Structure 1
């Protein structure tokens, strides 16, 4: 399998998975810092640029799926999961004035919401798809899929594959023998043509001078008796 597909070793695959977990955790922490230190605080109007007239119910924190040691973590009550965070936080968006100040109740301006949503989408993609991508990276998914096909869906796959292999070997031998016979036939045919041409080009030997003189002295009628 490793000779056919560009697989990586298990250590490299696990390192990739570990890095993806770290990035996911850092993105979640960054979003929670924005919520805790900006969105959920009612700043005074002179406290720019963090003031944009935040008001209304406080935003729940985003659930971090990993502990600091990157082991799996269960979400606490009230936390929002990565899968539906953008929908939940969308209800906290306010309408803003041209100067980006909330004119209605809300904890996020559309600009802040887009930035928070971008981080959440990246974290959710890494959390959801990184394990599958790692399985593709070290060919685990391919091995499991082929094993499943061979075991459950194609019980006669090995037998039919063996027949195909034997048939291909027989065809290969037939082609090889055909080439050998064709080479032998071609050489024999060229040899016959060469012999025939050689005979055609060989001149007829003239009789010796004495014999030619004797034949000349024989009367014309006696030459044919």
Structure 2
């Protein structure tokens, strides 16, 4: 029984530690993924302030909104990383301490079992009784640990159930925020609004240059607007949002989608002279095309992060994380805490039975020795 209990205890503890590590890594990776995406959005917004197409920049109010939201994004990212990291460290430290305690106790019990067997064989009664006293202390400690792991087993199960219930019905400000907090709803909504506004405004800037510069055949005296534009007219960029309320809109005929705009506009680039005048047919100089490409990179980058920003608003990234933990990690955590608990019970019972056996054996051996020393009756 002692051997079986030790195997169950050691295996369960090892697998429980691995499961905890995997769970914590998963949570930290999710937090890092969210934080990195927030930083990417912040970088795109910072770049948008410097983007200019033919000397046309974003409106000043949009640039002020970017400065304001940038501070909120950095604060939210730091809070998310710190909360997740600190919680993971606390759990990891507790699990490491429990695991070390289990290993030490299992080693001591194995040593006690071996010494008790040796002392019993060689008839060292005093040693056996001393060992019994220490053994009962270890049995008590082990039973206490059984209770601790039973509580841990119940706590793991309750946490898993709470995660599943939270994923089904998200709530604000719960104990689960220590594991992976939701982003502040105000920050999430404002970030999404500013990102959509910047996307729409950059598309407007690009289209205004197309409408007022590249698609007009200016006379030479209209410099600097004139650079000998000629040939077919350029298609406009598809603005994914309505300018008034930032609701989504569909592309109209004659508009080019952001994902293929740079390739499409490359057809309208002309070769230029040393003075920057087109010497071949085209609507774009390489310099203006490069500026439009930079604007498209920022616009399309922010647009692609729109679903991510939406997930921040309704906290679906936390919901997905908790659902993943409940589905993939919770079954193992529940199973292996049960293994450790069963292993501790088996080891405790085995040592307790050994102690009883040592006492009986030692008393019987002493009784035989005493009987042999008595004089024979006539």
TM interval, short-chain normalised: 0.5 to 0.7
Count of equivalent residues: 172
The answer to whether 1:69 aligns with 2:241 is: no
TM-score scaled to structure 1, two decimals? 0.68
- Counterpart Cα distance in 1 of 2:215 and 2:282: 10
| CA distance in 2: counterparts of 1:16 and 1:122, whole angstroms | 15
The aligned counterpart of 1:60 is 235
The answer (yes or no) to whether the contact 1:53–1:101 under 8 Å persists in 2 is yes
Larger radius of gyration: 1
Partner of 2:286: 110
Higher RCO by CA contacts (8 Å cutoff, separation 6 or greater): 2
Equivalent residue for 2:296? 120
* Alpha-carbon distance change, 172 to 59 in structure 1, aligned in 2, over 3 angstroms: farther
**What's 2:267 paired with?**
91
Separation of aligned partners in 1, 2:325 and 2:192: 27
Structure 2 residue aligned with 1:164: 336
Distance 1:27 1:172 in 2: 65
Q: Distance in 2 between matches of 1:21 and 1:147?
A: 29
Is the Cα contact below 8 Å between 2:311 and 2:317 reproduced in 1?
yes
- Match of 1:46, SS state, is helix
Identify the residue that residue 223 of structure 2 maps to in structure 1.
Answer: 48
Give the RMSD, CA atoms, in angstroms. Answer: 2.7
Contact 1:16 1:134 in 2 (8 A): no
The gaps in structure 1 that reach 5 residues or longer are 178-225
**Counterpart-to-counterpart distance in 2, 1:167 and 1:100:** 77
TM-score (norm. length: structure 2): 0.41
Structure 1 or 2: more helix by fraction: 2
Q: Structure 1 residues 142-151 or 164-173, which shifts more?
A: 164-173
- How far is 1:58 from its partner? 0.5
Q: Deviations over 1:162-208 (max 9, x none)?
A: 233345668899xxx9xxxxxxxxxxxxxxxxxxxxxxxxxxxxxxx
